[in-house]
Amino acid sequence: MEDSQALEWLNRFIELAPARCKTCAFKQVLGDEWKFVPPESIAGVNAKYFIVGQNPGVIELKLGKPFVGRSGKLLDRLLRESSIARDECWISNACKCKALSNHAKETSSGYANLEIMKGAAYSCITRHLIHELDEWSLQYAITGQRKAIIVLGGIAARALRIPTYSQSMKAARFIVINDGRFPGIPILREAHPAYLLRTGWDDYPKVLQSFKQLRSLVIVK
């Protein structure tokens, strides 16, 4: 597909997507502080990799782009060291609007709102993410272009109904779901970069190896 056509659907999606959030409970909780952060992709539906995170952080809200904060910098390093260009990726989040600050979890109302945020991720699946994935994966069905999905973090995995792994990293990271929606497209389940930042870099080599293995499944030799 031509580059201009590949970006046309994404641009239209970004323009129309916020209107689908009008009835979202999380938006109602946030009120005037609510902000929508759209997906990013220079390649549009021609992107080889579809990356799904949890939700935008403070920097993402300020700049209006996904994965541009500390977690984004670590993701960029993972991509760079596994020879995956960010330009080859469609980068999105399970929940596309403002997330609660970590200290909000310490209050009873914070816990309630955190549950709403988790629910918002599931709500975003039906309003946004599943449409993105369907349009992106359609090019695989039409052209046979090799593609892969990278799911970062438990909320994103659960929202997509992909079996999660334990944080101990003992479970298998790769899965291929032949359910008719993404037949033959490998899915990598990995820890969110924020997890690596919180717990130190002990698991970084394992995560990097997973990214490299995924790339080997996508590149045409």
Q: What tokens does 92 get?
A: 């999105």
Q: What is the mean pLDDT of the chain?
A: 79
C-alpha span between 206 and 94 (Å, rounded):
24
Residue 171: pLDDT above 70?
A: no
51 vs 182, more confident: 51
> Could you give the CA distance from residue 169 to residue 198 in angstroms, rounded to a whole number?
15
In the chain, where the domains are located = 3-218
pLDDT of 175 reads 67
Summarize the chain as % helix, strand, coil (round to 5). Answer: 55, 10, 35
What does the pLDDT read at residue 83? 97
The H or E element spanning position 150 is: strand 148-152
Q: What does the alpha-carbon distance between residue 195 and residue 71 come to, in Å, rounded to a whole number?
A: 9
* Percentage of the chain modeled with pLDDT above 70: 77
pLDDT digits 0-9 by tens, 66-91: 999 999 999 999 999 999 999 999 99
Best-predicted range by mean pLDDT (75-79, 115-119, 168-172, 186-190): 75-79
The C-alpha angle 23, 24, 27, rounded to 5 degrees, equals: 110
Helices 3-16/130-143 angle, 10° precision: 160
Report d(CA 116, CA 137) in Å as an integer: 29
Most confident of 23-32, 165-174, 195-204: 195-204
User: Which pLDDT band holds residue 109 (cuts at 50, 70, 90)?
Assistant: very low
Q: How confident is the model at residue 102 (pLDDT cuts 50, 70, 90)?
A: very low
The pLDDT score that the predictor gives to residue 67 is 97
Report the pLDDT value the prediction gives residue 11, as an integer from 0 to 100.
85
40 three-state secondary structure:
strand
- What does the alpha-carbon distance between residue 188 and residue 211 come to, in Å, rounded to a whole number? 8
CATH 3.40.470.10 fits 3-218, yes or no: yes
- pLDDT at residue 78, as a whole number: 97
Structure tokens at 155: 């909320």
When pLDDT is cut at 50, 70 and 90, the band that residue 98 belongs to is confident
Lowest mean pLDDT among 54-63, 97-106, 159-168: 97-106
Contacts of 146 (CB under 8 A, 6+ apart): 48, 140, 217, 218, 219, 220
Q: Which secondary-structure segment (H or E) carries 111? A: helix 108-124
pLDDT at 131: 84
Q: 154: which strand partners? A: none
Question: Is the separation of the CB atoms in 90 and 43 below 8 Å?
Answer: yes
Residue 107 is predicted with a pLDDT of: 41
Q: Look at residue 174 in the predicted model and tell me its pLDDT.
A: 67
Please tell me the least confidently modeled range out of 41-50, 67-76, 160-169: 160-169
Out of 7-11, 65-69, 119-123, give the one with best mean pLDDT: 65-69
Which are the contacts of 152, defined by CB distance < 8 A and separation ≥ 6? Answer: 51, 52, 53, 54, 75, 190, 191, 192, 193
